[in-house]
Structure 1
């Protein structure tokens, strides 16, 4: 049988897109183009430049297994260091010349007559390839709250993922709306230099201390020259996180252990009974994202900080009015209100076989076989797609699993030139049924969070360990797919 490698378009140059490109390069696939809307690679780590931005997964695990970095400055590295890691890998692997920067994708459409995808860019240009791979991630589109009067505020205001570094916060009265994973990092970073910090909390978070440490030159030398040590550290972090991930669906008693750790941190750091009560969550642990911080609680107990739990009624020109009628004055408002996590490929329009719109296919919630393939969308693959986010663990290894699986699909297409690969309705339905059944056993089903869409369906998270996902994606089974010759090939 003849072999012809398919041409490939990858959308996005963050962890997913670069990881997919490196997997292709390492396995002899060279006909690919990466389309990136920004002017440089990095994805979420390029976009989030707020003070204190960092990862809450230890760096030895939050990196590609085949591209370890021996000189991380800290166990939990900052955004700038992670971005530098990605930029270095892109340069070292010859990926920069494969990236078309400033390519803001607006639409991708499948042509049944040729078996190809045409991707259209906002500037009017377009690209065509046999295979489309989306690597746009789940946390790329900031979510601003629907609070009346936002446009009337007289001072600067911005989302944490669009931090305005031209605004000097020194000596200012700053209002922070939202207390999620971003706020827990930038609140301690800005607290010492602002005059007054008012933190508006709708829901208290479960917070646990993290065991961070600085890596010194001796550590770097050992990690560089003693490979077994670096691998042992990665394995330890892996096993620790996998153990606690079992508490999501399989070992519920572990949730009590996590809750105990969080309560111990709260009682140790917050002595004031009223503030402690305000910071105590009223929902099950792990139902929302557990946050890691050593300095969040210490920042909140400082004399220049107020934690407000009364609901916000509106934004007024001089600040924030709560439902009790109190106006909290502010010179600057920072929105730490998260992302549109369940709008996976929005605002891109994706048209599959026979013109099926992906938005219509996902009317009842986003879903994909193994989080990667969707019926009616031949030769299209998703990285970090529906139900592949993690409550506990490193998404980077999930991306590695997906990249290897997609590479197997591309190898299958290489040995069947002129064909398309499309997951069967049955395989997709069975996977979704099983996944949703397991998700009902997790804490995520017991409260509202960004893990769930407007219908209440849990669209984002994987209900288990990374090991379980690795086993599910280790081998591509052709029986889960329909291999179809394109009309042109059929007539050949």
Structure 2
């Protein structure tokens, strides 16, 4: 008996990878547009993405809740200005149920490989739960999904407990322990204040101090909730007010001279929180505000001034069986090491699992650095759409805005493919190159490139493949329409018909 390919029972119009904000939002909008021939593949046993995985004490968002949520699924009952991890996780679970997409999610189906089949114009998708094919592949794995583990000599031989903040070990009781925390980034400034009161001693290893501003987090009152639930348009007003307020920050952050003036806000917060001049000097960054991610906390500075905390600024030379040794030769005994060392943001792990034309992996394609067209499509990878791809990271506002803009872009592409009877669309290399040249020009001179720091925004070549360097409304405009002229358009008869000849 001849095998039928693709297998109708496992052939999809759209395959979505991941069920965080990106994947879940894509699934919901597909269903709302009447496209029901899709599945979402999720490696875990629940939706939620980064808000499912990051469960460390104190985990919360630093963007206002009314803005850090879907525009089509407003929540009038946020408990406070900034959502906590448990609340955001619950919100995403509720969205999956409310919009009826849970039945289309295949849990415990981790993507192991997706390979473009040029003959059949399909993505061959292998997961831990079985194999599938799909015309269109949408990746919603984001850039905060795989923890970055530092290459520290001896770390693997440490006899105590070692874990990354994104894989928090709730079975490890930190009460009375000697704990070493490596890193002082966005996660550490949240969990350090949460664990400081219970640990016996905490050594905090700081390579570069962050700029930290005050966090104006307030519990939403009963009156506020009543207004949000009963006054028509009030919640949309709040969302838009927050959004345009954040857009002002884009103007500031794109200009180092202006950002340097705004730096006084964070500098005053530091001065008010840390009276000791010597400690304050160690905690003062030597780069312009926002060159690295600007953080917000009211509890971090007080926590690290407690008697059971030592701030260590000497680099780590090695780890022994029961201690951390710094470059000055000092050995500090510890029984637990917590890594607050961020994520593989500019080395997307999914890239080694995606294979485009001629079997070339996305990792190989990006060997000289990540790039994409409008942060979504990549030359050589037909019918691939990446949520939160290169140059979609924001330094000033909500990533959900970018996600929704990309989802609209994907939907417009699908609509255009249906209208023209296309089998696949593929980014033209020259269109991708021209787009990124414009991005690089816009990034030149911004605080992210010229703020006197080395951040995770930059790759090993010094290029910035991470940041969207201007207002979110400009990205929404850039992705408001799928432009056929930027793509090779192929029908089932003609796999590589140039865009200008397509009907």
TM-score between the two structures when normalised by the length of structure 1: 0.95
Matches within 5 A, 1:20-35: 20-35=26-41
Q: In 1, Cα distance between the equivalents of 2:360 and 2:492?
A: 18
Greater Cα shift, 215-224 or 460-469: 215-224
2:131 to 113, 122, 126: 126
Q: In 1, Cα distance between the equivalents of 2:231 and 2:187?
A: 35
Q: What SS does structure 2 have at the residue aligned with 1:139? A: coil
For the structure 1 residues 397 and 215, does the alpha-carbon distance in structure 2 shift closer, same or farther, using more than 3 Å as the test?
Answer: same
Q: In 2, Cα distance between the equivalents of 1:247 and 1:96?
A: 41
CA RMSD of superposed structures (Å): 1.6
Q: In 1, Cα distance between the equivalents of 2:383 and 2:162?
A: 42
For the structure 1 residues 233 and 142, does the alpha-carbon distance in structure 2 shift closer, same or farther, using more than 3 Å as the test?
Answer: same
Q: In 1, Cα distance between the equivalents of 2:140 and 2:200?
A: 41
Greater Cα shift, 186-195 or 351-360: 351-360
Number of residues of Structure 1 aligned to a counterpart in Structure 2: 484
Match of 2:397 in 1: 393
1:377 Cα deviation after fit: 1.1
CA deviation digits over 1:247-273, x for unaligned, max 9?
232x44430233111101000000111
1:457 to 457, 463, 467: 463
Q: In 1, Cα distance between the equivalents of 2:349 and 2:329?
A: 40
Q: What SS does structure 1 have at the residue aligned with 2:401? A: helix
Q: What SS does structure 1 have at the residue aligned with 2:409? A: helix
Q: Does 1:185 align with 2:190?
A: yes
2:426 to 422, 429, 441: 422
Larger RCO: 1 or 2 (CA < 8 Å, sep 6+) = 1
Q: In 1, Cα distance between the equivalents of 2:478 and 2:151?
A: 40
Q: In 2, Cα distance between the equivalents of 1:338 and 1:258?
A: 26
Greater Cα shift, 474-483 or 308-317: 474-483
Q: What SS does structure 2 have at the residue aligned with 1:234? A: helix
Q: In 2, Cα distance between the equivalents of 1:71 and 1:9?
A: 33
- Consecutive unaligned residues of structure 2, counting only runs of 5 or more, are 1-10, 497-503
1:487 Cα deviation after fit: 4.1
Q: Is residue 352–residue 363 contact of structure 2 (8 Å, CA) maintained in 1?
A: no
CA deviation digits over 1:91-117, x for unaligned, max 9?
111111101111111111111111111
CA deviation digits over 1:97-148, x for unaligned, max 9?
101111111111111111111111135x211011011111001000111111
Q: Does 1:99 align with 2:105?
A: yes
Q: Does 1:19 align with 2:25?
A: yes
Greater Cα shift, 301-310 or 350-359: 350-359
Q: Is residue 274–residue 302 contact of structure 2 (8 Å, CA) maintained in 1?
A: yes
Greater Cα shift, 454-463 or 405-414: 454-463
Q: Is residue 351–residue 363 contact of structure 2 (8 Å, CA) maintained in 1?
A: no
- Consecutive unaligned residues of structure 1, counting only runs of 5 or more, are none
Q: Is residue 74–residue 212 contact of structure 1 (8 Å, CA) maintained in 2?
A: yes
Matches within 5 A, 1:350-389: 350-389=354-393
1:143 to 148, 152, 175: 148
Q: In 1, Cα distance between the equivalents of 2:139 and 2:236?
A: 31
For the structure 1 residues 419 and 280, does the alpha-carbon distance in structure 2 shift closer, same or farther, using more than 3 Å as the test?
Answer: same
CA deviation digits over 1:133-164, x for unaligned, max 9?
11110010001111111122221111000100
Greater Cα shift, 227-236 or 260-269: 227-236
Greater Cα shift, 398-407 or 439-448: 439-448
CA deviation digits over 1:200-247, x for unaligned, max 9?
100010100111001133322221111332222212211221001112
2:473 to 454, 463, 467: 467
For the structure 1 residues 347 and 403, does the alpha-carbon distance in structure 2 shift closer, same or farther, using more than 3 Å as the test?
Answer: closer
Q: Does 1:233 align with 2:235?
A: no
For the structure 1 residues 379 and 468, does the alpha-carbon distance in structure 2 shift closer, same or farther, using more than 3 Å as the test?
Answer: same
Match of 1:440 in 2: 444
2:174 to 169, 173, 177: 169
Q: Does 1:9 align with 2:15?
A: yes
Q: In 2, Cα distance between the equivalents of 1:304 and 1:142?
A: 28
Q: Does 1:210 align with 2:215?
A: yes
TM-score between the two structures when normalised by the length of structure 2: 0.93
Q: Is residue 157–residue 333 contact of structure 1 (8 Å, CA) maintained in 2?
A: yes
Q: In 1, Cα distance between the equivalents of 2:227 and 2:133?
A: 47
Q: In 2, Cα distance between the equivalents of 1:299 and 1:8?
A: 48
Q: What SS does structure 2 have at the residue aligned with 1:415? A: helix
Match of 1:44 in 2: 50
Q: Is residue 136–residue 345 contact of structure 1 (8 Å, CA) maintained in 2?
A: no
Match of 2:284 in 1: 280
For the structure 1 residues 8 and 374, does the alpha-carbon distance in structure 2 shift closer, same or farther, using more than 3 Å as the test?
Answer: same
Q: In 2, Cα distance between the equivalents of 1:127 and 1:42?
A: 23
1:489 Cα deviation after fit: 8.8
Match of 1:291 in 2: 295
